[in-house]
Amino acid sequence: MQSLTGTVESIVYRSDGDDFTVFRLVPARENVPVSVVGNFPAPLVGEELDLTGDWVEHSRFGRQFKAASCRRLAPTTVKGIERFLASGAIKGIGPATAARMVARFGDRTLEMLENYPHRLTEIEGIGAKKAAVIRASFAEHSDLREIMLFLETHGVTGAYAGRIYKHYGAAALAVLKENPYRLAAEVDGIGFRIADHIALALGHDKSDPARLTAGIEYALLQTAQTGHCCLPEEVLVQESAKLLGADAIDIAVCLAGLVRDNNLHTEDSQGTTLIYPGLLYHAETQVAARLKRLQERAFPAESGDAVRAVDAWEEREGITLAAAQREAVAAALRHGVLVLTGGPGTGKTVTVKGILAVLAEQGFKILLGAPTGRAAKRLSEACGREAATIHRLLEATGGREGAPQFLRDERTPLDADVVIIDEASMIDITLMYYLLRAVPEGCRFVLVGDVDQLPAVGPGSVLKDIIRSGTVPVVRLSEVFRQAGESVIVVNAHRINRGLFPDTRSSADFQFREVADEAAVAAAIVRLCGEELPAAGLDPLADVQVLSPMHRQQCGVENLNRLLQAALNPSTPARPSVGGGALRLGDKVMQTRNNYGKGVFNGDIGYIVGADSGIALVRYPDGDVLYEKAEIDELILAYAMSVHKSQGSEYPAVVMPLVAGHYIMLQRNLLYTAVTRAKQSVILLGTKAALNTALANDRTRRRYSLLAERLRGESLC
Ligand SMILES: Nc1ncnc2c1ncn2[C@@H]1O[C@H](COP(=O)(O)OP(=O)(O)OP(=O)(O)O)[C@@H](O)[C@H]1O
């Protein structure tokens, strides 16, 4: 390694993420600038740097200094100070003011700025107000520089300094020195791994209790991301020990302390101690308590009138409800909480319309909701009355991903006597908690959904657990009302749900194309979407959805998206790119996190209708949303998506690979969920063996949760 000291002359390139830069530097005691590349944020023009690295020969750009570390020095020469101040880094100072300042204070200019800012008014053109602006900006800049310097001298890239400073301001250094693990919990974009890297680099001990605590909390968080609400103690200890490279005994001791101090919660069930993070414990206990209360306290309804009301409604609609459907309507009148479940075409929506008619007749005020915008829209169209997403019902506002803010809660509950929620299988334990918190006392609560669909992406298997508890009235609809000829998809969905091979012969609307090789499957999918389906009158972007069981491999979501983008929306000069070239004008994209500020949510699909200077305009069904450069990473391509992400949506045509490489995800409920997303046609491509594996595999991994036990009022200790 060699060292190189000099002054930054100009910035040639800075990456979007601010973690790669190329600049020209004039070495000390020389006049000829050299090129420097480095994996750190771009420095400021005029800054003096002390670099460590190697000289390399680049095939296109020639000789350059590849810097491994960068230490910023305060400029010392008059020329350096002037260049630094003139760079625009400090608000209120431009080149002319910079020249006047160094002319007045010489090499003591920075000292004046730091310690005697009132003397700035001695300079022509600087009044008291401007002096205050300059002083504040300089202070901010020097704080930030200090954090960068602190991180870089400890071998950590200064790229995180901006985020850390934004969150803690002047207190940042103190936090870094005292407990860098706080960053993981408090700073957006910094997780446990980065915080741990910083802490270890700063010399914190591997067995530091703050490290063990943060590691245990991180391991629990990871657990929630795989669908569990809690974890057996031994499993958590093992996972944490592996993650931290620490002794299991130390972890167990730390864990006991966290439980003692109520930072984590425990529950003993059937001889196993389960550990909960605070929010999930609260959510689960509250969901159970609130469901029980709603069951007990529903406003009474007049059931005598109800029979007449159902009869009158049937006559008006020209329909005769089946016995199970009538039972559901009656149960909605009798009970405070009701679950209505059934597969596709079993008449759930018709039953909901019956429930609506009867309850509205009794003067109840009814709210309809669903977890996704598309499901809410469908419900609204089917029922002929307004339906909203749960987030909209709860009036979601800004807030961090983990703790959204809802204006509707127990203090300002929903204005309703009945709340009916469709696609309830998609609701995780935290959303159910926020929803129930806002359902007023005495209100009826009806959950409608297909319990055989995949469970929610988030923690818990709420609908399944409520049904499993046996404490809430459940009406199961099993008769399929749609005619077989009318929908081979519905017939096959029910066959798949029973583990039977789908009928792929009698109609072109449900095809299985045998293709042996995985690369050939991917190519066939591209041909299908690019040529065959458009020739059959389908719009490959709006009407066709490719679904895949996994993200990786040739037939995974990522590769299919790359291939489909190249085929359906190829790169041309007329289609500017955004997001570092990953996305371009015309692309079909998906929002990947809940952004309450923008009103777009995880799973929302749109199209890029504008792209300019790194900024994108995305058209969603509810309107256009602008993404600044730094926000583009919330978007991914959506020509193909995972089956999990497709929950709650429907598409005219679904195309899906079924290949051996996706072995671990070949499950019956995944195939069932994918197939039931299609309205007109399904095309599966792959091997019979993979299809059979999916049909045979009905073992769904049990999610750790005690909601059913709590509803049953079981003593958990
Ligand atoms: N009692 C009934 N008699 C005759 N037809 C019915 C009856 N109930 C429902 N149907 C018809 O069956 C079809 C499916 O009903 P519905 O849409 O209510 O089912 P669903 O369970 O909501 O289906 P999906 O989950 O696929 O939306 C509709 O065409 C509906 O009109």
Tell whether ligand 1 has an atom less than 6 A from the beta carbon of residue 347: yes
Q: To test the ligand 1 pocket, which listed residue (481, 650, 672, 676) has its Cβ within 8 A of the most ligand atoms?
A: 481
> Would you say 412 is a known binding-site residue?
no
Q: Distances from the Cα of 647 to the Cαs of 342, 424, 496, 498, 575, in angstroms? A: 16, 11, 17, 20, 31
Confidence band, pLDDT 50/70/90 cuts, at residue 71: confident
- 349 Cα–ligand 1 center, Å: 6
Burial class (CB in 10 A: 0-12, 13-18, 19+), 355: buried
Single-letter residue type at 678: A
Asked whether the predicted pLDDT for residue 636 surpasses 90, the reply is: yes
pLDDT score at 571: 93
The residue nearest atom 29 of ligand 1, judged by CA position, is: 482
Asked whether the predicted pLDDT for residue 73 surpasses 90, the reply is: no
CA 29 to chain centre: 52
> Would you say 304 is a known binding-site residue?
no
The residue nearest atom 23 of ligand 1, judged by CA position, is: 345
Tell whether ligand 1 has an atom less than 6 A from the beta carbon of residue 324: no
673 closest CA partner among 449, 503, 372:
449
The residue nearest atom 15 of ligand 1, judged by CA position, is: 347
The residue nearest atom 12 of ligand 1, judged by CA position, is: 481
pLDDT score at 586: 97
For 427-443, the three-class secondary structure string (H helix, E strand, C coil) is CCHHHHHHHHHCCCCCC
Burial class (CB in 10 A: 0-12, 13-18, 19+), 142: middle
> Would you say 5 is a known binding-site residue?
no
pLDDT score at 593: 82
- 300 Cα–ligand 1 center, Å: 29
The residue nearest atom 25 of ligand 1, judged by CA position, is: 344
Tell whether ligand 1 has an atom less than 6 A from the beta carbon of residue 650: no
Angle 236-242-243 from CA coordinates, rounded to 5° = 90
- Sign of the four-CA dihedral 185, 191, 193, 197: negative
The stretches of 11-160 forming alpha helices (DSSP H) are: 78-86, 95-105, 109-115, 128-153
Helix (H, G, I), strand (E, B) or coil at 16: coil
Tell whether ligand 1 has an atom less than 6 A from the beta carbon of residue 487: no
Tell whether ligand 1 has an atom less than 6 A from the beta carbon of residue 344: yes
Q: To test the ligand 1 pocket, which listed residue (313, 349, 451) has its Cβ within 8 A of the most ligand atoms?
A: 349
The stretches of 54-116 forming alpha helices (DSSP H) are: 78-86, 95-105, 109-115
> So what's the ipTM on this one?
0.98
In angstroms, the CA 251 to CA 212 distance is: 7
655 closest CA partner among 680, 637, 682, 679:
682
Tell whether ligand 1 has an atom less than 6 A from the beta carbon of residue 565: no
- 478 Cα–ligand 1 center, Å: 11
pLDDT score at 399: 60
Tell whether ligand 1 has an atom less than 6 A from the beta carbon of residue 41: no
Q: Which atom of ligand 1 is nearest to the CA of 350?
A: 18
Q: To test the ligand 1 pocket, which listed residue (350, 426, 490) has its Cβ within 8 A of the most ligand atoms?
A: 350
b/e code 252-289 from CB counts within 10 Å (16+ = b): bebbeebbeeeebbbbebeeebbbbbebbbebbbbbbe
Confidence band, pLDDT 50/70/90 cuts, at residue 627: very high
Tens-place pLDDT, residues 539-578: 999 999 999 999 989 999 999 999 999 999 999 999 999 9
Tell whether ligand 1 has an atom less than 6 A from the beta carbon of residue 482: yes
Average of per-residue pLDDT across 461-481: 95
pLDDT score at 649: 86
- 345 Cα–ligand 1 center, Å: 5
Asked whether the predicted pLDDT for residue 239 surpasses 80, the reply is: yes
Tell whether ligand 1 has an atom less than 6 A from the beta carbon of residue 663: no
Tell whether ligand 1 has an atom less than 6 A from the beta carbon of residue 158: no
The stretches of 448-538 forming alpha helices (DSSP H) are: 462-469, 488-497, 518-527, 533-535
Q: Which atom of ligand 1 is nearest to the CA of 346?
A: 21
Tell whether ligand 1 has an atom less than 6 A from the beta carbon of residue 481: yes
In angstroms, the CA 260 to CA 228 distance is: 22
Q: How many other CB atoms are there within 10 angstroms of residue 26's CB atom? A: 19
CA 464 to chain centre: 23
Asked whether the predicted pLDDT for residue 130 surpasses 60, the reply is: yes
Helix (H, G, I), strand (E, B) or coil at 152: helix
Tokens of 547: 């679904």
Please report, rounded to a whole number, the percentage of residues in the chain having pLDDT higher than 70. Answer: 96
The owner of tokens 């509810």 is: 622
Q: Which atom of ligand 1 is nearest to the CA of 352?
A: 18
Tell whether ligand 1 has an atom less than 6 A from the beta carbon of residue 453: no
> Would you say 345 is a known binding-site residue?
yes
The interaxial angle of helices 303-317 and 348-361, nearest 10 deg, is: 130
Confidence band, pLDDT 50/70/90 cuts, at residue 299: confident
Q: Put the strands of the sheet holding 337-342 in their side by side order.
A: 388-389, 366-370, 418-421, 444-449, 337-342, 474-477
Q: Are 211 and 251 in contact (CB under 8 A)?
A: no
The residue nearest atom 30 of ligand 1, judged by CA position, is: 347
In angstroms, the CA 396 to CA 399 distance is: 9
pLDDT score at 486: 66
- 485 Cα–ligand 1 center, Å: 15
Asked whether the predicted pLDDT for residue 423 surpasses 90, the reply is: yes
- 463 Cα–ligand 1 center, Å: 21
Tell whether ligand 1 has an atom less than 6 A from the beta carbon of residue 692: no
Least confident of 245-249, 398-402, 696-700: 398-402
> Would you say 257 is a known binding-site residue?
no
Average of per-residue pLDDT across 666-676: 95
Tell whether ligand 1 has an atom less than 6 A from the beta carbon of residue 582: no
659 closest CA partner among 515, 497, 504, 509:
515
Please report, rounded to a whole number, the percentage of residues in the chain having pLDDT higher than 90. Answer: 57
pLDDT score at 256: 94
Tell whether ligand 1 has an atom less than 6 A from the beta carbon of residue 350: yes
Tell whether ligand 1 has an atom less than 6 A from the beta carbon of residue 354: no
Q: Are 280 and 402 in contact (CB under 8 A)?
A: no
Tokens of 575: 């289609």
Helix (H, G, I), strand (E, B) or coil at 117: helix
Q: Which atom of ligand 1 is nearest to the CA of 450?
A: 25
250 closest CA partner among 276, 213, 275:
213
Mean pLDDT, the chain, whole residue set: 89
| Assessment of whether the complete model's pTM goes beyond 0.80 | no
pLDDT score at 158: 62
Average of per-residue pLDDT across 64-73: 84
pLDDT score at 564: 98
Residues sharing a CB contact under 8 Å with residue 401, sequence separation 6 or more, in sequence order? 593, 594
The residue nearest atom 24 of ligand 1, judged by CA position, is: 344
- 481 Cα–ligand 1 center, Å: 6
- 611 Cα–ligand 1 center, Å: 43
Q: Which atom of ligand 1 is nearest to the CA of 382?
A: 17
- 479 Cα–ligand 1 center, Å: 10
548 closest CA partner among 643, 464, 672:
643
pLDDT score at 501: 96
Tens-place pLDDT, residues 82-98: 877 876 667 888 888 98
Asked whether the predicted pLDDT for residue 7 surpasses 60, the reply is: yes
In angstroms, the CA 257 to CA 622 distance is: 49
Q: Are 607 and 598 in contact (CB under 8 A)?
A: no
Average of per-residue pLDDT across 665-684: 95
Tell whether ligand 1 has an atom less than 6 A from the beta carbon of residue 648: no
In angstroms, the CA 98 to CA 115 distance is: 17
In angstroms, the CA 468 to CA 645 distance is: 25
Tell whether ligand 1 has an atom less than 6 A from the beta carbon of residue 603: no
CA 577 to chain centre: 23
Asked whether the predicted pLDDT for residue 504 surpasses 60, the reply is: yes
Tokens of 633: 């990473």
Tell whether ligand 1 has an atom less than 6 A from the beta carbon of residue 349: yes
Q: Distances from the Cα of 475 to the Cαs of 222, 270, 329, 420, 631, in angstroms? A: 35, 30, 10, 15, 44
Tell whether ligand 1 has an atom less than 6 A from the beta carbon of residue 346: yes
602 closest CA partner among 546, 645, 544, 640:
645
Alpha-carbon Rg for the chain, nearest whole angstrom, is 31
Tens-place pLDDT, residues 371-391: 988 889 889 999 999 999 999
The residue nearest atom 2 of ligand 1, judged by CA position, is: 321
Tell whether ligand 1 has an atom less than 6 A from the beta carbon of residue 567: no
Tell whether ligand 1 has an atom less than 6 A from the beta carbon of residue 319: yes
